[in-house]
Amino acid sequence: MRQLVVIGNGMVGHRLVEAVRDRDTDGTWHITVLAEESRPAYDRVALSSYFDGACEEDLRLPDLVRRGGVDLRLGEPATAIDRAGRTVTTRTGAVVGYDALVLATGSSAFVPPVPGHDLPGCHVYRTLDDLDAITASARDARTGVVIGGGLLGLEAANALRLLGVRAHVVELAPWLMPAQIDEGGGALLGGLIAETGVTVHTGVGVEAVEAGADGRVARVRLGERELAADIVVFAVGIRPRDELARAAGLEVGPRGGVVVDEACRTLDEAIYAVGECAQAGGTVYGLIAPGNAMAEVVADRLLGGTAAFTGADTSTKLKLLGVDVASFGDAHGRTPGALEVVLNDAPGRRYAKLVVSDDARTLLGGVLVGDATAYAGLRPLVGRELPGDPLDLIAPGREGGGIGVGALPDDAQVCSCNAVTKGALVTAIHDGACDVAVLKGCTGAGTSCGSCVPMLKTLLAEAGVEQSRALCEHFEQSRAELVEIVTATGVATFSELIARYGRGRGCDVCKPAVASILASLNGGHILDGEQAALQDTNDHFLANIQRNGTYSVVPRIPGGEITPDKLIVIGEVARDFGLYTKITGGQRIDLLGARVEQLPAIWRRLVDAGFESGHAYGKSLRTVKSCVGSTWCRYGVQDSVGLAIELELRYRGLRAPHKIKAGVSGCARECAEARGKDIGVIATEKGWNLYVGGNGGFRPRHADLLVSDVDHDTLIRYIDRFLMFYVRTADRLQRTAAWIEAMDGGLDHLRAVVVDDALGIAADLEAAMARHVTGYADEWRGVLDDPDKLARFVSFANAPDVPDPTIAFETEREQPVPAGPVTLGMPVRRPHAEV
């Protein structure tokens, strides 16, 4: 077996190992990876999402060791290369021999040598350790200054903002992102960034960073002016880490970078260099797509191939909330004879420029600011003949730049990060990839920067695979469309809705869905009039059906807080009615085994003792889990129990597309597991952090941070908006996690709607929630007070008091449980049972 040593376990080093393992089916190479960082490789491109709810695990790249034949040595950097002996020495003194060596050492952040650059509180933005250090510094910081207004600097400024720090960006050039965009786009971008709350200073350089009395950063001096700063982040550029190569006598470029040829080989034929430490064709690329391409070339060469690296796509898209910027191809129009087509729509806050060849037939590049939806469609066209009038392609309101993916040739790269062509995607769809997730899984497209995902959706749609949005055979409309119809027309009954907008008589899919819509929009008791016939059995009997036809009783215990007296009542009721009793996963108590005809008597006792429905049966708010919080806990910084109870009482009974769960923790230790909930609230010293879209269940997902450090009233306002927006626009049985994932624009769009009121509907959403809160009434009390509704709670219409003879219990651990064999089952037709 031959020995391959890879120095560096960053994104490109990782890709190289994967690519070799993919191709090396005969096991020719054993691979040793020497890694300076002590964590396994992670997605550096998505680094900023660390401040937006992602954790280290979310960012981690697939495990290399599991692939076999890989010795991954974390925290063991290489210190020297002996080319003559073909060995590498590591920090621990180990000497590793190689037949082939790949340098993938990446680059380091460049820190300009201004006075004070190394004071405590000064940071760079490159590794997870850097981000942890920034988080620690930001804890007591009020103002932060980012030096550098490029792609990275803007991401860093946004990170500071998410950490609750007022951010300034200082850029020496006259506009932001000068490397990628032109002056016209830069002017608009400056304004858009300023609107996010970041203060922009362009055309100025930093002279010095100055310390305060405590020895930490306090100010940044910009010529005449100075800015207060409790934290400083340098993001002015990168320097290839070519020190090992230099010491080993390999050639490096004038501005750094190990010089390599088309095979990515250095002048030593056993040594290759890839990624940001390499200089290929005179260029050091600071982007992932070229790095990945180099990794593929080297993997191919190591296995006897002849692949060559001849340059790569340098398109970029800014990943910042609410600010759309993209630049691709020859964005600055440097090709001789290039022509520019510009659309500068200041009031519409859009700037778009296409660079085309002198005959205006070939697309060379472009810049999009304010609205980059056309990016995914335009980028693959670079270097190709334009399908139409260039101006037409950037005209407003044309999804995907007016280009159907159909217009793209098969060899056009749809995903440039992972070099996936349209042809490969079409083949995968043809072979059965039926949604974006599967397509991502089998082609790798869309798994890096994500900007090609809209194209994946379009390809699926064009292949006719996209699933119909029709609710069921009775309604062509999606749930969200039905919400709009009901809102706009005031239709108040299912019969009228199906007569006017549907066909047939409905089914167990559309009836409960419409019942939920009518309940959330119009209020009223869910068993009133015709509505009763729409409810599935759980809502019908205000209890959850169990496998033997009995029901469970779950009284609401807001926040999980309960008095001893109420606990005793629950115990007495359970004992008197012979119910099995269990503490649920939602911090409350479930009484199981009640027969239909027992439910009213059980609930009479509970309602008299001050309990109300816990809606365990409804597609509505379940529980708001809490931790003990600051009242008792020595770490607590806010009253989490108080807030949990307030939230539970506020949103109880709200009918929604699916169940809603929430949690409130009193500090970052997160004992309430709030990030596993649809709504998670975590106390901070300054207020509350609001997370949304968490889920346990079939596909666990951590909630994403929506806003941080908001005060109580703002928090409630945002949750009101969030929930009502969900109620109005989600699909049937779509939890918030799936809703956000499927939303065009994802979390950023959601934040724009909820926080920035980008759609101008916030007041409307808040008013709808206010109506819900004032209109709330306990459903069980409503039944007990109404003889007509009570009449439904009988075993048999012709023998109301005879218990169902098929129900029998036996005793297990001193409690009654259903007797008889357990019939296991999931529904035959549908993949998941849902109740």
Residues that bind ligand FAD (CB under 6 A): 7-13, 34-37, 44-45, 47-48, 77-78, 104-107, 125-126, 152, 155, 241, 244, 275-276, 286-289, 291, 316, 319, 449
Is residue 671 part of an annotated ligand binding site?
yes
Question: Which residue in 3, 87, 427, 537 binds another protein (CB under 8 A)?
Answer: 537
Sort 423 into a burial class: Cβ within 10 Å, 0-12 / 13-18 / 19+. Answer: middle
In the bound state with ligand SRM, the residue whose beta carbon lies nearer, of 168 and 588, is: 588
Residue 9 interacting partner from another protein, ligand FES, ligand FAD, none (CB closer than 5 to 8 Å by kind): ligand FAD
Q: Which is nearer to ligand FAD, 77 or 803 (CB)?
A: 77
Residue 484 neighbours by CB distance under 10 Å:
13
| Residue 175 backbone zone (phi > 0: left; psi -120 to 50: alpha; other: beta) | beta
Q: In this complex, which beta carbon is closest to ligand FAD, that of residue 276 or of residue 612?
A: 276
Q: Is 561 in the site for ligand SF4 (CB under 6 A)?
A: no
Tokens 């949990």 — which residue? 644
DSSP state letter for 99: S
Stretch of 163-171, 351-359, 695-703, 787-795 lying at the interface with ligand SRM (CB under 6 A)? 695-703
Q: Which is nearer to ligand SF4, 377 or 636 (CB)?
A: 636
Residues 732-751 that bind ligand SRM (CB under 6 A): 735
* Residue in 289, 726, 792 with CA at minimum distance from that of residue 517: 726
The answer to whether 507 is a known ligand-binding residue is: no
The stretch among 10-18, 192-200, 441-449, 739-747 that binds ligand FES (CB under 6 A) is: 441-449
* Beta carbon of residue 731, minimum distance to another protein (angstroms, whole number): 18
- In order, the DSSP letters of 137-188 are HHTT-SEEEEE--SHHHHHHHHHHHHTT-EEEEEESSSSSSTTT--HHHHHH
Whether 200 and 106 have beta carbons less than 8 Å apart is answered as no
Decide: residue 229, CB within 10 A, 0-12 exposed, 13-18 middle, 19+ buried. Answer: buried
> Smallest distance from the beta carbon of 298 to ligand FAD, in angstroms?
12
Distances (CA, A) of 331 to 236, 308, 317, 337, 519: 21, 25, 12, 14, 53
* Residue 446 contact partner, candidates ligand FES, ligand SF4, ligand FAD, none, CB within 5 to 8 A by sort of partner: ligand FES
- Binding partner selected for residue 109 from ligand SRM, another protein, ligand FES, none, CB under the kind-specific 5 to 8 Å limit: none
Q: Which of 450, 454, 512, 694 touches ligand FES by CB under 6 A?
A: 450
Q: Which residue from 762, 681, 665 is spatially nearest to 722, judged by alpha carbons?
A: 762
Check if the beta carbon of residue 133 is closer than 8 Å to that of residue 124: no
Residues of span 584-643 touching ligand SF4 by CB under 6 A: 627-629, 633, 635-636, 640
Shortest spacing between CB 226 and ligand FES, in angstroms: 40
Q: Which is nearer to ligand FAD, 107 or 729 (by Cβ)? A: 107
Closer to ligand SF4 at the Cβ: 639 or 704? Answer: 639
633 labelled binding-site residue: yes
- Which C-beta is closer to another protein: that of 441 or that of 549? 549
**Side-chain half-sphere CA neighbours of 734 within 13 A:** 21
Which residues are within 8 A (CB) of 130 and not within 5 positions of it... i.e. 6 or more apart?
109, 123, 124
Confirm if 558 and 622 have CB atoms less than 8 A apart: no
**Residue 451 binds to ligand FES (criterion: CB under 6 A):** yes
Site for ligand FES in 369-428 (CB under 6 A): 415-418
In the DSSP assignment, the letter for residue 238 is: E
**Distance in angstroms (rounded) separating the CA atoms of residues 243 and 363:** 40
| Token reading at 348 | 């519409």
d(CA 536, CA 544): 10
Under the criterion CB under 6 A, does residue 446 sit at the interface with ligand FES?
yes
Q: Which does 552 bind (CB under 5 to 8 A by kind): ligand FAD, ligand SRM, ligand SF4, none?
A: ligand SRM
Q: How far is the CB of 567 from ligand SF4 (least distance, A)?
A: 21
**CB closer to ligand FAD out of 87 and 581:** 87
In this chain, which of 585, 610, 775, 820 binds ligand SRM, going by CB under 6 A?
585
Residue closest to ligand FAD (Cβ): 10
Among candidates 667, 795, 785, 691, which has minimal Cα distance to 740? 691
Pick from ligand FAD, ligand SF4, another protein, none: which does 641 bind, CB < 5 to 8 A by kind? none
Smallest distance, ligand SF4 to C-beta of residue 603, A = 33
Does 445 bind ligand FES (CB under 6 A)? Our answer is: yes
CB of 271 to ligand FAD, least distance (A): 14
- Report the site for ligand SF4 in 640-679 (rule: CB under 6 A): 640, 665-667, 669-671
**Count of chain residues binding ligand SF4 (CB under 6 A):** 13
With a CB cutoff of 8 Å and minimum separation 6, the contacts of 34 are 5, 6, 7, 8, 9, 73, 76, 77, 78, 88, 90, 96
Return the number of other C-beta atoms located less than 10 Å from residue 411's C-beta. 11
Q: Of 198 and 514, which has the nearer Cβ to ligand FAD?
A: 198
Q: Is 582 an interacting residue with respect to ligand SRM (CB under 6 A)? A: yes
Residues whose CB falls within 8 Å of the CB of residue 66, separated by 6 or more in sequence, listed in order: none
Q: How many residues bind another protein (CB under 8 A)?
A: 43
Question: Can you spell out the DSSP letters for 450-489?
Answer: -TTHHHHHHHHHHTT-SPP--SBTTBSS-HHHHHHHHHHH
State the residue number with the nearest CB to ligand SRM.
697
Is 632 among the residues that bind another protein (CB under 8 A)?
Answer: no
Note whether 372 and 390 are within 8 A (CB). Answer: no
Look up residue 267 and give its two tokens.
């002048």
Q: Which of residues 498-557 bind ligand SRM (CB under 6 A)?
A: 544, 546, 552, 554
Least distance in Å: CB of 665 to ligand SF4?
4
What is the DSSP-derived secondary structure letter of residue 655? B
Instruction: Using the CB atoms, write b or e for 775-807: b if 16+ within 10 Å.
Output: ebebbbbbbbeeeebeeebebeeeeeeeeeeeb
By the 8 A CB rule, do 455 and 400 touch?
yes
Q: How many helices (H) and strands (E) does the chain have?
A: 25, 38
Residue 798 near which of ligand FES, ligand SF4, another protein, none (CB within 5-8 Å, type-dependent): another protein
Which partner from the list ligand FES, ligand SRM, another protein, none does 826 bind, CB cut-off 5 to 8 Å by kind?
A: another protein
Q: Does 787 bind another protein (CB under 8 A)?
A: no
Shortest distance, CB of residue 58 to ligand SRM, whole angstroms?
17
Residue placing its CB nearer to ligand FAD in the complex, 263 or 356: 263
Structure tokens at 613: 């429905």
To the question of whether residue 627 is assigned a binding role by annotation, the answer is yes
Distance from C-alpha of 795 to C-alpha of 655, rounded to nearest angstrom: 28
Q: Should residue 555 be labelled a site residue for ligand FES when binding is judged by CB under 6 A?
A: no
Strands 100-103 and 2-7 come out as parallel
Cβ atoms 354, 340 nearer than 8 A? yes
> What does the binding site for ligand SRM look like in residue numbers (CB under 6 A)?
544, 546, 552, 554, 582, 584-586, 588, 590, 616, 622-623, 661, 695-698, 735, 832-835
User: Residues within the annotated binding site for siroheme?
Assistant: 671
Q: Where do contacts with another protein occur on this chain (CB under 8 A)? A: 473-474, 495, 504-508, 510-512, 532-534, 536-538, 540-541, 545, 547-549, 792, 795-799, 802, 804-807, 820, 823, 825-830, 833
Which residues define the annotated binding site? Answer: 627, 633, 667, 671
Q: Which residues bind ligand FES (CB under 6 A)?
A: 415-418, 445-452
Annotated binding site for [4Fe-4S] cluster: 627, 633, 667, 671
Q: Which residues bind ligand SF4 (CB under 6 A)?
A: 627-629, 633, 635-636, 640, 665-667, 669-671
